[in-house]
Every structure is written in C-alpha cells, then in structure tokens.
Structure 1
C-alpha cells in the first residue's frame, strides 16, 4: 500500500486550488462538499467557478498562485492543465512543506483524491493507487446503487443519539444496539421520516438497557480452500460478529482481513511432522474465551468436519458447558476436483468416495489399501506430501495399477494454485521434483481433463523457462 487512506478534518481549514478550467471544476465539485475554506487562483476562471465565488462558496483571486498565498493552507491542488505551471506550483508547495495533488500526475502528487460515495456523514473512499481510475468509478457506481440515500440521515440521527447510547455497557451489548438500529429498525423507520427514526432509537435503547450480555459461544467455521469468494454467507457473518478468531495456519490473510478490526486474532497452527500448537492448548483457548463471554470463531481451513479434530474441541466445550455451532465449508478435494474439470464421483466409474489423511497423530496412517487399490476407485488424500512414497508403496503392494492417475493440486482454489498430473508409478518422484510449498491434496484415480492438463503443461513450461 503506497497511499495510506485517512479521513482528514478540513472544517474551517484552507484548501488552495490553482487553475480555472475543467480539471479545476471537477476537483471543486468534490471540495465544495466539505466544510473547508476554498481559495482558487486563476487568471481566467470558467463561468462555473465565477458563479460559485459570487455565491460565496469559495474565494476567487484572478491571478496565478504565489508563494505568499500558501500561508495557512492544509492542502493544495494544482489543476492548471499546464505542465509548466503545475510544476511551478508543485515546487512552491513542496518547499513550503504542504501536501499537494497535481491533477493527472501521480508521481508529482503527495496525496491522491479517491473516488467517493457520499452519504454524509457516511463516506466510502475508493482508491486504486492511480492504477485503474475506471475500476474505481465502476466500484463507486455499484456502491451508489446499493447504499440507500436514507443512510446519511440514519447516521446523522444516530450520531446525535450517541450520548444516550453511552448508558449501555461497552462491548457486545452496545454493538448489538447499534447493529439492531442500523440493520433492522432504522431502515424500516427511514421511510416514515425523522420522528420514526428517533422513535426506533428510543425503542432499541430501552430493549437493550434490560438485556443481559450474550453468553460465550464458539462457532466452528470452515474457511474453505482459501478463496474468500468460496466462503459461505454464514461464515462471512460469523467472522463479522466474532470477538475472537482462533485460526489454522493454512487460513490465508485475505480471509482474516474480513474480521472486525477490533477482533482478537490468534493463530493455532499445526504442521505435519513440524511445529504445532498442542491440541490441549487450543482446547484451553476455546474454553477460556468462551467463558469470558466472547463470541469465538474457530476458523479451520477447508471443511471443519473433515480432518479438523473437531470432535476433540467440541468435547472440551461440552465439558465446560459452552454452546457451539458448526458452519461447514468447501473441502479441498471438492475445490481440487472442480479445478481440474473432473467429478469426484461418476456413474459407472465409482459409486463411493474416500477421503483419507497421509498421516495422523501417530505418524504415517494405515488404510484399507485393498479398497483404495481397486480399479476405478477415487480417493482424496489430505496431508500427504511427506507420505507420498509410503502411499505409493502400500498401494502398489496391494495390487493398484502403476498407471493409476494421481493429480496433485497445490493451493486448490487460490490464485497461486498449481496442478501436477502424475501416475502412481512416479508419484514420489513427481512430488520431490515439483516440491509443492503450499497445501496440497492428491486425487487418486483422477487425471485432469484434457483442457486442464494442457493449461497445466503450458504453465509448467513457463515456470521452467523462468527458473
């Protein structure tokens, strides 16, 4: 992030703009929405600017900007549409230690003005670091359509009511009060005007004054294979409401970013044959935060009910008397199969599907190898990178064809995903040669579709060329 987004208090502060043409008009349309004192310097201003000056909405000086005019300025805009004049203004402003924006010149600007959705006092700023203004405008248009005009009125009346809401205890009850107003009773009352909105605020306050804090609760949430767009709606809602999030090592930062900024985020990582947070410690963390009254999300990669030691954690909560729910997620095998254009089951090929782990708490995991080795069988193998040679040997020993297809999918469903087609006879060698660093699932009995395999081959060739 090159440009750090902030909201600057400009009430009664001086903002200086140099320029009088179309670029200046575009900036002034936005600046005139603020409570700043706007000073414009232009020898030949457009009629719109002269009209705004006549209405006393800004101060207009009919000459070029001088160094003496910068005294007391908070921000400066150079909108002369003249490279030489803009450079002169930028030099003076920088020397004076004042932030400047040079219109259509990102390199010469100390700050940029984002696209803005205005529902005063609710303001949404959209920036693309100057890289894609068209994209910013498209996002702005989408938000304009989705955010009702009444949102500003709700926020203004809510702001005036804040001192009354201070009667509620800090924390969950107060957040529940504002959530109920802004997302339920407030929007319903908005159609009837100010009095109805104020009545809704009073009603919600009385309801929450007598409310007891919600007891602690733990939601076991499946984060899916890592793509935030594959989260369920229920998972998104749980993350938004969580006070504490205890997450697996494989949950990506993009999903953790969806949490409230105030939420406590704790890692409880596990790694096969590597450093791990003891299960007893994870259980204790869940019980500790649940007893404190927190709304806890135990965020597990993939589906929480598959190889997530879920029942051990549920048992600890049951013993402590803490309520819990489970929100399923998309498991890695499903994401991997979708990525290679195949189905995990198919009529005439396999009427069953097995999901196994390459290792368990005691080491390499033994399986029903004869069932796994049958022709046509399909198996999703989790946590099997370091067990590839063991799996290969056991399957061949129990009669599996050496030509059985095995597809290794690294980081399934993520932008950096990689598909590695293989055969059982060379599985261990391919795993070593490609050495996937991200989480990988193996699909025993499935080869990528022809199109997927061709794409994977082209990507692999390019990777080798750049190596």
Structure 2
C-alpha cells in the first residue's frame, strides 16, 4: 500500500442488516459505533475489554461482543471492518486479514492501512452531504462541515423527505427525464422550500400539490444559451452562467474551457467537445450550428460554452444569426474575456493615465488576418494592444509593427494560460518578442499585451510565479541559437 493519499470514489453504502466488524472496545470504537448503528448495520465488536459505554450497548443487545484478541475468522460474513485500537500491530493484522478477504477496512488515523475513509457528514433528514479529504486532512473536512452546518437549515431535510415520499407520483406525472428535470427546477425555485423555511409544512405540501397539478407543455421548447466560460479560473464564472450550466441538458464546449469550469456543470448533461485549434478543427462551425439546431429542436436546453466571452472573437454573432434564422430561442451570458482576465492576473492595467488612453482588441491568427489590420493605427504610441493570436505568428506581427513605426523598445507581456494555476508571464521588448517566446517554449493559449503598461507586470504581478525576463546579453545568445536552429 502507498503512503500517498489516493483519489477516492464517493459511495453511500446501504448497511441495513449487513454485518460490520469493529475491532476495539474504547472511546474511539464507541464513536465509530454510533453512525453504524444509525445506518442499521449488524455490528459485531471484538475486544478483550470494553469501555462502560460500549458494554452498555452489548448488554442492551444492540451489538454482539467477541471477547479476546483479534482473529481473522472474526471477519466471516463482514462487509466492512473498522480497526479502532491503540495497538499498531493489531491494526496491521486487521488490515492484512481484510485485504486478503476483500473486505473494506478503515484503520482509525492510519491512511496507509485503510481501504476506505469515513467522511465528515452533514445530515438533513434523508439528505446527507459527505466531505472527504482522502484521509489526508481530516481537520479541513471537519472545518468545512462546520461551515455548511450553519448554512443549511433543517428545512432542507423536510424538503428532501417530501421529495422522497412523492417520488413515485412525480415520475408518473412526468415520465420523460427532460420534463422531470424542468419540473424539479421550477419546484425548487418556487414556494415549497420557502414554506418549509417558514415552518409551514401544510403550506409546503399544498404548494407541491399545485405544482404537480400543473399541465406540462405538450412539447418541450428547446433553447440555446451562449455562455462565456471566462479564461480558465472557475471563480470568474458569472452566477447566471453557473445556473444555466446546472440546468443544461447538452453542453457544447470549446477545447479551451477549463476542466474546473466543466466540473461545475450538471454531471448528467451530455458534454460534447466542439473546440477548434489552429490547423485542427475538431468540429467545423457548420457542424456546431447543426448540433445546436438538432438538440434544440429535440426540446433540450443547450449551453454553447465558449472560452472567454462569446462576443469577443468567439463567433457568437454568427451563431446567434443562425439560431435566429431557424427560430430557436436564445440568450447570451457574457464572460470575462481573455484580454481583461490575463491582464488583471498579470498585474497589467490595460489603461493608465500616464501610459495608455485607449486599448485595442486585435485578433491575428493567420497571415490573411494580418493583411486586414490597420498597421499604421496599431503602431501609434500611448495605446495598449491586446492581441489574441497563435504564438506561431509572433514574428510576422513584430515585423509589421516595427515596419510601421512602433518603437523596438515597446514593452510586451506574453501571458500563457492566464488565470490558471500554470500561468506564465513573459516580459521584454517588442524587438525580442519572437526570440523570447521560442526560448521559453510558450504554447497556446497565450495572449499578448503590447504597450507601455506591459512594463508594469514586473512590479505589479500578484498571481503565480514572477514574470520571466531575460537580460540583453542572453537575448543575443538566444538570437544566435534561433538562427542556428533555423539554418
């Protein structure tokens, strides 16, 4: 067994009538007995002596006592075993015997010997919330439990009991899954929970009956929401975006939408990656249009999840035009676009009274797009350029700016994986931009900020590692290496 915490699979076990062995008869064992008995387990406890509180449970006939030292045959018929002794050798023997018999074992305060962990729990009627740190930080799990205990009032338990009691009637009334989801969304946002919080159980039941009696629409009307996922940090997601992600039946997401954002979405939604990368179009734009239309016409709620903001170089306008032309209901939820987020997380103000009175958002992913830009305007001073582009085009971008008069010493900040834990910021002069990017092997996604404000990244950085900078002598060496590699 490894000493390192392993990712655990969360599981709620039905222990009613099933045998569980607890080894140990002291206060620690007593604490483990309470939740097992509450779950209806048939508890067998083995120990040479018993704490008085444990002995009282034996005398009351609530648990079976096996007197003496641990023996592997105590595990006969057991589904789980808890080793709760202060003897390391006994705990080791229990864990070894359990592993040999394929019985799940928890050894109190010994992560390496345990094959399962008991989480910190919050109970509200039939609703349980379990918190686990994988056994590595139990105090943190306990702290979070205490915080949630204060935020979840007892009315949650009454609501859960109502839904459990009425489950069969709800399924009969709303046999289709999508229809049932919408019923629950409306119900949980309506007066039922409010009545329970007010202590009015009869009013809550009446509100439920009214909701159940409503005639469902003959056909669900599908819709599409264009949602901005932001640059990567899940904390930058808007509340409206989070709500729609938890209501979605289908999520069509870009490749650059971070796993952290996707983890906040409804788990049973259909996730379809439709992201496009330079020279590698996973799904064409026409294909994305077809998917939105197919699922919306089938009555599903579709979230078209885009990195950054849908209306900033995200083809959101094209997709809305398509939806409008086909009569599909839609809405747009803006996101924090990459230029704003990357600049903020790199400590670069896009405007500044002393350095920049305007900011331009520019995209330049290919040679054709470079040819359409107003280079004379882009080369003006006292402005900031926020450039969405592939890193492969940096040299052509640098050369055209220099040819139209932008100063070679203009500061830049090149931000890779902005707002994410792996963020890197590269700073330097415009003249050295492509050489430095090659030297530090900058990869997409990366955003370029060019202008006097970019120099502030070296002093105002606050997130992640400090910016990467290179002295002039090393830049000359890098250029020599670049020339050698090209040759």
Cα distance in 2, alignment partners of residues 366 and 221 from structure 1: 29
Give how far 1:88 is off.
2.5
Q: Give the match for residue 196 of structure 1.
A: 203
C-alpha change, 1:279 and 1:97, in structure 2 (3 Å) is: closer
Cα distance in 2, alignment partners of residues 56 and 150 from structure 1: 34
What is the CA deviation profile of residues 248-294 of structure 1, one whole-angstrom value per residue up to 9, with x for unaligned ones? 11111221122212211111111123344211111111111111111
Q: Does 1:260 align with 2:254?
A: no
Cα distance in 2, alignment partners of residues 41 and 424 from structure 1: 74
Q: Does 1:324 align with 2:330?
A: yes
Q: Does 1:428 align with 2:434?
A: yes
CA RMSD across the alignment: 2.1
Cα distance in 2, alignment partners of residues 138 and 227 from structure 1: 24
Cα distance in 1, alignment partners of residues 306 and 279 from structure 2: 19
Residues 120 and 142 in structure 2, CA contact (< 8 A), matched pair in contact too? yes
Give how far 1:428 is off.
1.3
Cα distance in 1, alignment partners of residues 100 and 294 from structure 2: 56
Q: Does 1:451 align with 2:456?
A: no
Give how far 1:457 is off.
5.1
Q: Give the match for residue 100 of structure 1.
A: 105
Q: Give the match for residue 91 of structure 1.
A: 96
Q: Give the match for residue 153 of structure 1.
A: 158
Q: Does 1:44 align with 2:49?
A: yes
Q: Give the match for residue 169 of structure 1.
A: 175
Cα distance in 2, alignment partners of residues 147 and 93 from structure 1: 37
TM-score scaled by length of structure 1: 0.93
- How many equivalent residue pairs? 460
Q: Give the match for residue 115 of structure 1.
A: 120
TM-score scaled by length of structure 2: 0.89
Cα distance in 2, alignment partners of residues 460 and 44 from structure 1: 68
Q: Does 1:375 align with 2:381?
A: yes
Q: What does 1:347-426 align with in structure 2 at a 5 Å threshold?
A: 347-359=353-365, 362-426=368-432
C-alpha change, 1:270 and 1:428, in structure 2 (3 Å) is: same
Q: Give the match for residue 136 of structure 1.
A: 141
Residues 420 and 456 in structure 1, CA contact (< 8 A), matched pair in contact too? no
Out of 57-66 and 215-224, give the one that drifted further: 57-66
What is the CA deviation profile of residues 7-28 of structure 1, one whole-angstrom value per residue up to 9, with x for unaligned ones? 1111111111011122212212
Cα distance in 1, alignment partners of residues 439 and 294 from structure 2: 45
Q: Specify every segment of 5 or more residues in structure 2 that has no aligned partner in the other structure, as ranges.
A: 1-5, 471-487
Cα distance in 1, alignment partners of residues 188 and 322 from structure 2: 36
Q: Give the match for residue 339 of structure 2.
A: 333
C-alpha change, 1:364 and 1:57, in structure 2 (3 Å) is: farther
